[in-house]
Structure 1
């Protein structure tokens, strides 16, 4: 099988599995049936038994990753529809988002350092909470690995989508704006898909938080990361 055929089959398989995962998430509403989580597990399993390596799947992945940019921009629609609510709470939201973003970067790097992980992994972990296109570009500014950054982003997003709603509920945080802000700040697009399922305000605020967190990370990471390493 040539590379083009394998790439097209991989893309078709990925789309089919994701549609199946999305159908499952509608039938069984749970953070554990988040489409990205279930689709990832199924795709990895299928590729393993097909004997398709990650390197062989990379071209298909690159084609699909290219579409992340337009997909991310599309999240501006619910933000616009709920712009009045966002503007009314903009100042406290930006303050909380800034604290959350900075805390996420510092805790990720310090935790990696405490485990004795390499400097490359420490740098890469700093961008785990922002969306993939931004993470891939930003991580190079601090000497991280773009490919590893993409993996970290997916892992952080999946765990954020699963655990964040549960933690917010356990801590009795029920305000839609607060829930959307927390989920979007720590788990970018994947978490935002879960926030959208909770309600339009949660989805809109999560989209805003995700975008602002990406911008803030891009701006502060080049000077914050060296300070963390001192």
Structure 2
């Protein structure tokens, strides 16, 4: 295929895979039918069958990744629709997101200490629950490895978006505000995307949590992460 045809093929493949797996998730609500997880498997399978590699897929990936910026800005719409809910819960939202950010960093770092991970790996693991661009910069400032941090962030988002809703249900968390805040705080963009599939309120709260967690983590992580090295 020519470059333009291949580009179009991979864009259509990605969009179609996501829409199909999203419909499956909305129909059956099974954690393993998470759209990001399942559509990724579909795309990898197609690449393997057709003999194309990551470099062939990269131009389409970069074009769609560019749209993450506008998609993030678009989260302002459900937030606007739920502005009264946010105003009613301002203090609990701030306290919950900050506590959640500190707790998720501490849990990961303590687990790393128990497993006797190298300090560089620990510092790379700490900011795993915020979006990649911010997590990478936090990791660099703290002395971690940016590539490792990016991998940890993607893995955290994937695992959190798959297991998070089921765990919240198991813990009898029914409030859409609380569910959205939990998913956005721990699993950043991927968690927020799953929250949006639950309801507009959960998605709005997920977007708020993702933003607050990113800012708060960026401010405290350079001082907080080194505490777990000693």
Give the TM interval when normalised to the shorter protein: 0.7 to 0.9
**Cα distance change of structure 1 residues 17 and 79 upon mapping to structure 2, 3 Å threshold:** same
Map 1:1-230 to 2 at 5 A: 9-54=9-54, 57-230=57-230
Separation in structure 2 between the aligned mates of residue 11 and residue 121 of structure 1, nearest angstrom: 34
- 1:57 Cα deviation after fit: 4.1
Q: CA deviation at 1:36?
A: 0.5
DSSP-derived class of the 1:225 partner? helix
Unpaired runs of 5+ residues, structure 1, are: none
123 and 176 in structure 1: CA distance in 2 versus 1, 3 angstrom threshold? same
Q: CA distance change for structure 1 residues 39 and 88 in 2, over 3 Å: closer, same or farther?
A: same
Instruction: Supply the distance in 1 between the matched residues of 2:111 and 2:208 (Cα, whole angstroms).
Output: 27
Length, aligned pairs only: 230
Distance 2:36 2:111 in 1: 26
Query: Match of 1:174, SS?
Result: coil
Q: CA deviation at 1:149?
A: 2.9
Give, in whole Å, the separation in 2 of the partners of 1:228 and 1:65.
34
1:8 shift after superposition? 5.3
- Counterpart contact for 1:184–1:207, Cα < 8 Å: yes
Do the aligned partners of 2:161 and 2:194 also contact (CA within 8 Å) in 1?
Answer: yes
Q: Do 2:119 and 2:229's aligned partners in 1 also have CA atoms closer than 8 Å?
A: no
1:72/1:8 CA distance change after superposition, 3 Å: same
Q: 5+ residue gaps in structure 2?
A: none
**2:6 & 2:118 partners in 1: Cα distance?**
34
Shift of 1:113: 3.2
Gap change, CA 1:11 and 1:43, over 3 Å in 2: same
TM-score by length of 2: 0.86
Which shows bigger deviation, 15-24 or 93-102?
A: 15-24
Give the Cα separation in 1 of the matches to 2:104 and 2:169. 21
Secondary structure of the 1:128 match is: coil
Q: Is the 8 A contact 1:31 1:194 kept in 2?
A: no
Indicate if the aligned counterparts of 1:130 and 1:153 stay in contact, CA closer than 8 A. yes
Indicate how the Cα distance of structure 1 residues 199 and 138 shifts in structure 2: closer, same or farther if over 3 A, else same.
same
C-alpha distance in structure 2 between counterparts of 1:108 and 1:47, whole Å: 33
The CA RMSD measured in Å over matched residues stands at 2.4
